[in-house]
């Protein structure tokens, strides 16, 4: 007897598996690293100075969400970019599809505000690509820093090797696609065939062609020639403020530089970002907590300090975004970026404009 599962059944099974993984981590595995009573004792010892530092690092992290999008989509204001990034990130944290749902939400919100289709699609693609480049580059940088200190970490070494390989292939393919229209069309056709093959397995229809990458190339060249350096800096700052929050959590709970240096903390954080990208649970819940706690303990942090810092870090990166994201999702239609309208003669490809009244000072 054979069983065929429909889409709903697969989603239910996938959700049940995610719940099982999260429950196993928080109920059975993390308590073996540090008893939750010890973790609570560490939290109770935090004074107002530590909480103020944690609050400042959290606000700094939230404040750096919008700039990459403002660079990638000229005319997008800070307030609108903040609302959009919080809503889309919140959705990516609570859904198994993760980044794909967040990207779709970003596109829908920006289009509803009147931004043209092609600039929005370009902004979604470019910010996503730059984020992935950063995630792949961080383990390489971390491994180089640890090597300079004569330290060795096998898991990070593996992640760095994989990161170098994937980053090199991705950069080469990206540069190759941008080098000429014919090459972009060739790569686009290959991607379409691959997407159709995956689509047949997932029972999804692919509605785009290789010409889409040719059009993307033309738009991307115009944007990146002017703004690639600003986009790179904004993306790196946005990611590194997340690391600053982790480092602040470590120091706040009493894990000093003699136990875990900033380089070791950066290495643990870089490794966990790769693990968190795996679509095993929504937002990497359970996977990130276990991986980060284990890495910090391996570098020398006390068990209770490592778990406390990890749980604080996760709470301060996830809960504010969930709260702000739900608020933004409920009120996003009120965030009008002024005169951001499509050109009458070319719908979907018009230039985006913004009134001076809607600009938010930085």
The mean pLDDT of 210-228, rounded to a whole number, is 75
Span of 38-47, 62-71, 301-310, 344-353 with lowest mean pLDDT: 344-353
DSSP string, 313-347: HHHHHHHHHHHHHHHHHHHGGG---SS----TTST
The mean pLDDT of 40-68, rounded to a whole number, is 96
Write down the pLDDT at residue 293: 94
- At residue 302, does pLDDT exceed 60? yes
Q: Are 348 and 116 in contact (CB under 8 A)?
A: yes
Residue 76 lies in a domain: yes
The closest alpha carbon to 45, from 185, 215, 254, belongs to: 254
- At residue 59, does pLDDT exceed 90? yes
Residue 345 lies in a domain: no
Residue 344 lies in a domain: no
Q: Are 116 and 349 in contact (CB under 8 A)?
A: yes
- Please count the CA atoms within 13 angstroms of the CA of 296 that sit on its side-chain side: 33
Residue 69 lies in a domain: yes
Structural domain count of the chain = 1
Token look-up 């429950």 returns 23
CA dist 184 and 176 (Å) reads 7
The mean pLDDT of 40-47, rounded to a whole number, is 94
Q: How far is CA 207 from CA 55, 119, 177, 182, 193, in A?
A: 45, 19, 20, 21, 11
Q: How far is CA 342 from CA 68, 81, 115, 162, 339, in A?
A: 22, 19, 6, 42, 9
- Residue 34 belongs to domain spanning: 16-336
Residue 55 lies in a domain: yes
282 compared with 242, residue with greater pLDDT? 242
Residue 162 lies in a domain: yes
The mean pLDDT of 286-297, rounded to a whole number, is 91
**pLDDT band of 3, cuts 50, 70, 90:** very low
The closest alpha carbon to 278, from 293, 266, 290, 294, belongs to: 290
Q: Is 52 helix (H, G, I), strand (E, B) or coil?
A: helix
Model pTM score: 0.80
The mean pLDDT of 214-226, rounded to a whole number, is 76
Write down the pLDDT at residue 166: 72
The mean pLDDT of 275-293, rounded to a whole number, is 82
List Cβ neighbours of 4 (8 Å cut-off, separation of 6 or more). Answer: none
- Please count the CA atoms within 13 angstroms of the CA of 60 that sit on its side-chain side: 16
Residue 353 lies in a domain: no
The 10s digit of each residue's pLDDT in 18-40 is: 778 788 888 888 999 999 999 99
- Alpha carbon 30 to chain centroid, angstroms: 24
Residue 138 lies in a domain: yes
């Amino acid at each position: 007897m054979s069983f065929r599962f429909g889409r709903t059944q697969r989603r239910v099974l996938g959700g049940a598996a995610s719940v099982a993984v999260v429950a196993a981590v928080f109920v059975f595995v993390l308590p073996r690293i540090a008893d939750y009573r010890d973790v609570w004792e560490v939290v109770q010892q935090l004074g107002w100075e530590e909480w103020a530092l944690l609050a400042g690092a959290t606000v700094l992290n939230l404040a750096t969400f919008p700039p990459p999008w403002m660079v990638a989509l000229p005319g997008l204001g800070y307030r609108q970019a903040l609302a959009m990034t919080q809503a889309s990130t919140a959705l990516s944290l609570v859904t198994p599809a993760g980044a794909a749902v967040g990207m779709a939400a970003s596109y829908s919100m920006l289009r509803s505000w009147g931004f043209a289709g092609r600039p929005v699609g370009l902004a979604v693609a470019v910010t996503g690509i730059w984020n992935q480049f950063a995630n792949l580059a961080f383990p390489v940088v971390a491994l180089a820093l640890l090597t300079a200190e004569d330290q060795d970490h096998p898991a990070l070494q593996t992640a760095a090797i994989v990161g170098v390989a994937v980053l090199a292939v991705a950069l080469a393919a990206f540069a190759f696609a941008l080098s000429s229209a014919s090459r972009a069309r060739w790569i686009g056709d290959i991607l379409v065939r691959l997407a159709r093959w995956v689509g047949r397995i997932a029972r999804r229809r692919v509605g785009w062609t290789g010409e889409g990458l040719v059009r993307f190339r033309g738009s991307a060249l115009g944007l990146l020639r002017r703004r690639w350096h600003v986009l790179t800096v904004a993306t790196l700052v946005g990611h590194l403020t997340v690391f600053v929050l982790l480092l602040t959590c470590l120091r706040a709970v009493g894990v000093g530089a003699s136990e875990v240096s900033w380089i070791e903390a950066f290495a643990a954080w870089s490794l966990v970002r790769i693990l968190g990208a795996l679509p095993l649970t929504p937002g990497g819940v359970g996977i990130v907590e276990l991986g980060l706690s284990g890495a910090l303990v391996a570098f020398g942090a006390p068990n209770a300090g490592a778990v406390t810092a990890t749980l604080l870090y996760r709470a301060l990166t996830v809960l504010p975004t969930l709260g702000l994201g739900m608020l933004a999702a409920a009120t996003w239609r009120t965030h009008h970026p002024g005169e951001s309208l499509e050109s009458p003669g070319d719908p979907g490809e018009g230039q985006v404009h913004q009134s001076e009244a809607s600009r938010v000072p930085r």
